[in-house]
Amino acid sequence: MFGNKLSVVVMFGALTACGGSGEDSDGPQYSGDATRVFSASSDWQSLLARDPDALSETELKEAYLGLALSEYSGSTELVNLTPELAIKFIYLMRSYSPYGDIVNVFPEDLGEIGVQYYDHSGVSADSTKNNSIDTTVACSGLNDQNNVAYSGSFSDGVGLLKQNFHGCAVLISKYLTGESLAFVTPYLEHDYGDRQRYQPFATSFTENLVIDQNYGPDNEHNYSYQLIGFTGSYPAAVKGNVYETAMVVRRSDEQGYEALKVLKETYGGGPEVKDSFSGGLAIKGYGSVLVSTADVSDVFKGTSASGLVLTGRYGVKARFTSMAGGLHVLDMDNDGDGIYDDRVVFSMNLYTASATPEIPFLRFEFDRQATPLRSLRQVKLPPTLLYELEWEGGYELGGVLVLSPPVYRDLDTPKDDLELEIIWRNNGEIIAEGADLLELPSNLFTDISGITVEVAISDGTTRIVSLPLDTFWLQFH
| pLDDT tens-digit readout, 82-108 | 999 998 898 887 764 433 332 334 444
| pLDDT tens-digit readout, 203-236 | 889 998 888 876 655 655 577 888 899 988 888 8
Which amino acid, 68?
A: A
Class of domain 384-476: mainly beta
Residue-range domain boundaries for the chain? 384-476
State CA 181 to chain mean position distance: 24
- How many residues belong to the chain? 477
The span from the first CA to the last CA of the chain, in angstroms, equals 34
Which amino acid, 218?
A: D
Cβ contacts of 178 within 8 Å, gap of 6 or more? 164, 165, 206, 208, 209, 210
For the CA atoms of 311, 315, 316, 320, the dihedral, rounded to the nearest 10 degrees, stands at 40
Question: What is the maximum alpha-carbon separation in the chain?
Answer: 82
Q: With the C-alpha atoms ordered 243, 248, 251, 255, is the resulting torsion angle positive or negative?
A: positive
Check: CB of residue 87 under 8 Å from CB of residue 364.
yes
- Give the 3-state secondary structure of residue 168: strand
| pLDDT for the residue numbered 99 | 37
Cβ contacts of 476 within 8 Å, gap of 6 or more? none
| pLDDT tens-digit readout, 288-310 | 999 998 878 766 766 666 688 99
For the CA atoms of 203, 205, 210, 211, the dihedral, rounded to the nearest 10 degrees, stands at 10
Q: Are strands 327-333 and 317-323 parallel, antiparallel or unpaired?
A: antiparallel
Q: Hey, which residues does 147 pair with through a beta bridge?
A: 138, 166
Query: What DSSP letter does each residue of 4-29 carry, written as one string?
Result: --S-HHHHHGGGS--S---S-TTSPP
What's the average pLDDT block by block, 10 residues per block, for the chain (477 residues)? Answer: 24 30 36 63 95 92 96 91 91 58 41 48 47 68 58 71 77 77 74 60 87 65 82 81 88 75 81 80 91 79 75 93 84 93 89 91 78 88 92 89 94 92 97 97 93 97 96 82
> What does the alpha-carbon distance between residue 90 and residue 118 come to, in Å, rounded to a whole number?
32
Rounded to 5°, the CA angle 307-310-316 comes to: 120
